[in-house]
Structure 1
Amino acid sequence: MIKTILFDFGDVFLNLNKKATILELQKLGLQEFTPEMLQLNNQYEKGEISSKMFIEFYKTQLPNATHQQLIDSWNSILLDFPEYRLAFLKKLSASKKYQLLLLSNTNQLHIDWVEKHIKVYEQFKNCFDVFYLSHEIQLRKPDTEVFRFILQTHELNANETLFIDDTFENTEAAKRLGFHTWNLNPKEDDITELFTKYSHLL
């Protein structure tokens, strides 16, 4: 029996365009993300470097781009938050049937954008018992450590926890620890279908 639901944020509640960032950076002259850049991106998601250091690194790679162009390109992945998903979450939260947790791989620039442009963000956060952002806890999916952190911090049994994420490697990592998982496909699934598609668990 599920007692806790652990949600991802992007492409579960907040719509994303995951191809946008690289396309926008290519307009500024970037060919592709190098291994060094991918490592830096992960460090930034874990809060190991500041936004200033992050943007200054990309400025060395794209010297003709302005800081604002780099920030806008980085944030171009972020789209909108349909309010019907918030209504679903509010109803779920009000039921008090489950402990609701959020675990998102994100970074300060993305959250700054969300706080400015997604008017329902505070209402969204208030629906959760705890709200974990990777750059604040310095842990990111799919690393085993972050799932063990969730289990230990909240004294959870993995087999009583449902983890919902759109990234396959994240749900697979959780599944190996015993979580129930839903690898949500944003092109085919919607979080509001939770009780239709997972009624056997819930």
Structure 2
Amino acid sequence: MIKNIVFDFGDIFINLDKQGTYKELAKLGVTEISEKMISVYHQYEKGLISTDEFVGFYHKEFNIDKDDLIRSWNAILLDFPKERLAFLKELAASEKYRLFLLSNTNELHISWIQEDWGMELYNEFKNCFEQFYLSHEINFRKPDSEIYQFVLDQNKLVAEETLFVDDLKENTDSAKEVGLQVWNLIPGEEDVTELFTKKEF
């Protein structure tokens, strides 16, 4: 029996253009993603380096203007359909499940979201969750198994009673290995608002 639901953020609630940043970086002359770039990105997403260090890396490595880099970096972020917020608020109000957010999100992205949405909407969304876990604040990132164990341990959750909803199969696969129930939601084909028609509880 499912008692807890852990939601991802991107392409679950906020829509993403997963190629958006790559396209914008290509316009700035960065056409190949190196292992070093991925390593720096993962460090940033885990909060192990600061925004200044992250932006500085690209500025030094590619001579990219810092404002251009930030704009390109946030090109992945799109709209937040209001029906998803309505669904979430109704789910939270029902108090049938303990709700959590678990997202690989960095400081630049969350700052953009707060500014784009406005803090009133952002807090309205955030307050639907018992805990709001962002990778750069907890120093873990998906699909590493430690991040799921962290959420389970911090909140005394039973893995088998916990559903994890994410759009990336590598993330739901690793969560399944820890014992969580999972829904690998396919963006464009499925929507989080269909949770109770797609999954049996």
Taking structure 2 as the reference length, the TM-score comes to 0.97
Q: Deviations over 1:75-123 (max 9, x none)?
A: 0000010111000000000000000000000100000100000232111
Whole-Å separation in 1 of the counterparts to 2:137 and 2:157: 21
Whole-Å separation in 1 of the counterparts to 2:116 and 2:51: 19
Whole-Å separation in 1 of the counterparts to 2:176 and 2:122: 29
1:79-158 → structure 2 map (5 Å cutoff): 79-119=78-118, 120-158=121-159
> Cα RMSD over matched residues?
0.7
SS of the residue corresponding to residue 73 of structure 2 reads: helix
Whole-Å separation in 2 of the counterparts to 1:121 and 1:80: 13
Taking structure 1 as the reference length, the TM-score comes to 0.97
What is the Cα deviation at residue 61 of structure 1? Answer: 2.2
SS of the residue corresponding to residue 128 of structure 2 reads: coil
Whole-Å separation in 1 of the counterparts to 2:142 and 2:99: 18
Q: Deviations over 1:15-53 (max 9, x none)?
A: 000001011001001021100000110000000000000
Query: Which amino acid counterpart does residue 178 of structure 2 have in structure 1?
Result: L
Runs of 4+ in structure 1 deviating by more than 2 angstroms, as ranges, are: none
Matched, 1:27 2:27: yes
Q: Matched residue pairs, number?
A: 199
What is the Cα deviation at residue 66 of structure 1? Answer: 1.3
Unaligned segments of structure 1, at least 5 residues: none
Q: Deviations over 1:161-189 (max 9, x none)?
A: 00000011000000011111000011100
Percentage of matched positions with identical amino acids: 55
Unaligned segments of structure 2, at least 5 residues: none
> Could you say which residue in structure 2 is the equivalent of 1:167?
168
